[in-house]
Amino acid sequence: MKRRHAFKGLLWLWLGCGKAQQPRVGVVTLDQFPNVWRHLDFFYLNKPATVIRIPKPQDASSRYLQAGPDMYLQAYLRECPHNGCVVRFHPSAQTLLICYCHGSLFWRADGHLEAGIANEDLPGLRLQLEGEQIVVVGLANP
């Protein structure tokens, strides 16, 4: 019995104190965002994701990265929290993303849920600036 507890403790430490390790992935460079609303798509944890340059956020508690005096970046997975469909840019409403499976709408700037059957925001990603490179360092709320 004691051996079993010791094994669980080691496993817990190996997994990072109970949390699975999330990969650090360099995804883009600053010069790829010349204007606001420029976005680039990539994959993180084998899921579609987006980094987008946004206007200066009104909410200082938001999870954006300030990458320069007037450069603010946001990143999120584009996997719908309702049932896992890929969320896409809305063809006519430029501020929104849409899930075509059941119609949920999310804000393009930060992935917050605007309307629909999904009951959560798009999963946010934490960004860090390393020189000129923007690195995803994990989920905002693992």
Give contact residues for ligand FES (rule: CB under 6 A): 80, 82-83, 85, 99, 101-102, 104, 116-118
β-bridge partners, 6 = none
Tokens of 14: 């190996």
* Nearest CB to ligand FES, comparing residues 51 and 122: 122
* Nearest CB to ligand FES, comparing residues 104 and 134: 104
β-bridge partners, 29 = 133
Least Å distance, CB 9 to ligand FES, is: 39
Amino acid at 72: Y
* Nearest CB to ligand FES, comparing residues 85 and 96: 85
Output phi, psi for 73, to 5 deg: -125, 145
Tokens of 121: 């925001």
Least Å distance, CB 94 to ligand FES, is: 20
